[in-house]
């Protein structure tokens, strides 16, 4: 048994949600930063480890590797049952997965770095416009869904995995200057989450691989 390892990048929202889960569960881990801007995910060495060449990836305490943030988090849920990330009810559990997938499958992929480069090349303004529009369209559906299932948090009154996905995608929305005034429920839940220590410590600007000039104390 060894200390688990997270391969991630400070600004990657998929890595961010796994960091929140690790903090939530109180799991100690080693961080191996993969600098996406320097294309370290494209090296042969990383490809051998993670054939999809994306972050996050997680090496378990018994040395097994996993990629895909939701798969990693569901593994953590079963391997470390303290502080559950799912509610007990069958329907509520499915709602948590539904919110996670709205974010991970419908919103996140169309605004990630690989897509921005393909649609806009090095034109930073065009990249920002694409990301902003994609997140805005996705948030319309997310806001509508949350109207039905949210209370204090995304699903009811307990923190769940859905909140980890929400906090990280709102981080991207802020980065691309999405007008959040259209999304009062998303904003309210995110404001509550951002006061909690597990969310603060997982924030991109508190990570060791965050450049000095962006780092928060």
Q: Is 21 in the site for ligand GSH (CB under 6 A)?
A: no
Smallest separation, CB 186 to ligand GSH (Å): 19
Q: What is the radius of gyration, based on Cα positions, of the chain?
A: 17
Site string for ligand GSH, 128-167 (x = CB under 6 A): ----------------------------------------
> How far is Cα 11 from Cα 9, in angstroms, rounded to an integer?
6
Smallest separation, CB 152 to ligand GSH (Å): 25
- List the structure tokens of 64: 């097994």
Q: Is 111 in the site for ligand GSH (CB under 6 A)?
A: no
Angle at 36 between CA 172 and CA 6, to 5 degrees: 85
DSSP 8-state assignment for residue 33: E
Q: Is 120 in the site for ligand GSH (CB under 6 A)?
A: no
> How far is Cα 40 from Cα 38, in angstroms, rounded to an integer?
6
Smallest separation, CB 81 to ligand GSH (Å): 22
Q: Is 55 in the site for ligand GSH (CB under 6 A)?
A: yes
Q: Is 41 in the site for ligand GSH (CB under 6 A)?
A: yes
- List the structure tokens of 129: 């416009």
Query: Which of 5, 92, 101, 112 is the binder for ligand GSH (CB under 6 A)?
Result: 112
Cα 161 from chain centroid (whole Å): 10
CA-based nearest residue to 98, from 174, 24, 23, 150:
150
Q: Is 56 in the site for ligand GSH (CB under 6 A)?
A: yes
Q: Is 12 in the site for ligand GSH (CB under 6 A)?
A: yes
Query: Which of 7, 23, 69, 86 is the binder for ligand GSH (CB under 6 A)?
Result: 69
Q: Is 68 in the site for ligand GSH (CB under 6 A)?
A: yes
CA-based nearest residue to 60, from 9, 22, 33, 11:
22
Q: Is 113 in the site for ligand GSH (CB under 6 A)?
A: yes
- Select from 10-18, 20-28, 80-88, 126-134 the region that touches ligand GSH (CB under 6 A): 10-18
Dihedral over alpha carbons 77, 80, 81, 85 (to 10 degrees): -40
Share in percent of the chain as helix, strand, coil (round to 5): 60, 5, 35
Q: What are the residues binding ligand GSH (CB under 6 A)?
A: 12-14, 36, 41, 54-56, 68-69, 104, 112-114
């Amino acid at each position: 048994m060894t200390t688990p390892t997270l391969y991630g990048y400070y600004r990657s929202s998929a890595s961010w949600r796994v960091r929140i889960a690790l903090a939530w569960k109180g799991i100690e881990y080693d961080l191996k930063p993969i600098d996406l801007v320097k294309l370290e995910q494209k090296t042969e060495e990383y490809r051998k480890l993670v054939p999809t060449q994306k972050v996050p990836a997680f090496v378990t305490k018994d040395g097994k590797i996993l990629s895909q943030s939701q798969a990693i988090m569901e593994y953590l849920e079963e391997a470390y049952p303290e502080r559950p990330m799912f509610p007990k009810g069958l329907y509520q559990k499915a709602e948590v997965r539904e919110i996670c997938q709205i974010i991970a499958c419908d919103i996140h992929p169309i605004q990630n770095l690989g897509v921005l480069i393909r649609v806009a090349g090095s034109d930073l303004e065009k990249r920002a416009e694409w990301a902003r529009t994609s997140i805005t369209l996705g948030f319309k559906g997310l806001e509508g869904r949350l109207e039905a299932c949210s209370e204090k948090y995304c699903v009811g009154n307990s923190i769940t995995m859905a909140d980890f996905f929400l906090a990280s995608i709102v981080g991207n929305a802020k980065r691309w200057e999405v007008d959040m005034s259209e999304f009062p429920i998303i904003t309210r839940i995110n404001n509550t989450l951002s006061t909690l220590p597990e969310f603060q410590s997982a924030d991109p600007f508190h990570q060791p691989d965050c450049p000095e000039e962006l780092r928060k104390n």
